[in-house]
Structure 1
Amino acid sequence: MSDPFRSHAVGRTAPGMRHRTITPSDTIDLAVSGERPRVIMCQAAGSVALVDDAGTVISYTMAAGQILPFSPRRINATGTTAIVVGWW
């Protein structure tokens, strides 16, 4: 069956179409093909140190299964104990 939405533009509020486990890094940004994840989902509980566009780092405590509707520039290794995936 073909995708009936293939001609529609994909925006920030659209559901993710790709996913991958995120390996936190203090230096490498998350962009894949120029895009950042739309949403972060926590697979194993812990803290997640998110970096925003301004370079500000804020740590969030997340429970397993929790979804954070935020598109971070990077997830730092320092301060991150959770296992997270991103939805692009």
Structure 2
Amino acid sequence: MRIFAAKLLGSNVSDFGSVTPSNTVNLTTQAISIAVAGTAGTVSVVKPDGTSVIIPSALLPVGQFVPFPATRINATGTTATEIWVMYQ
């Protein structure tokens, strides 16, 4: 998957990278978008307001960044593989 850090919906992207889902460790910086580069599946996230939600695979097409802000990608409830995020 080719990843281009440019502009996403008018927001400046400062960095991007792959993440390992964890039920306890937050991302170093709040993510502004999420992509699945491996196997399609659900992604469980903690939103900036602290609530958790499971994003269905239909909303995260493989190979495309989708603007879902998140502070953590949870291991429990995540079935997608090779998850990437963009940071502002």
**TM-score, normalized by the shorter chain, greater than 0.5:** yes
Between the aligned partners of 2:10 and 2:68, the Cα distance in structure 1 is 11
Question: 5+ residue gaps in structure 1?
Answer: 1-11
The one-letter code of the counterpart of 2:32 is: R
- Provide the identity percentage: 34
Between the aligned partners of 2:42 and 2:61, the Cα distance in structure 1 is 9
Greater C-alpha Rg: 1
The one-letter code of the counterpart of 2:12 is: P
Equivalent residue, structure 1, for 2:75: 77
Q: How does 1:6-85 map to 2 (within 5 A)?
A: 13-31=10-28, 35-44=29-38, 45-60=40-55, 61=57, 62-82=60-80, 83-85=82-84
In the alignment, is the contact (CA less than 8 A) between 2:41 and 2:79 conserved in 1? yes
Runs of 4+ in 1 over 6 A off after TM superposition: none
Moved more, 41-50 or 62-71: 62-71
Q: CA deviation at 1:29?
A: 0.6
Query: What's the TM-score once normalised by structure 1's chain length?
Result: 0.70
Q: CA deviation at 1:20?
A: 0.9
Q: Does 1:87 align with 2:81?
A: no
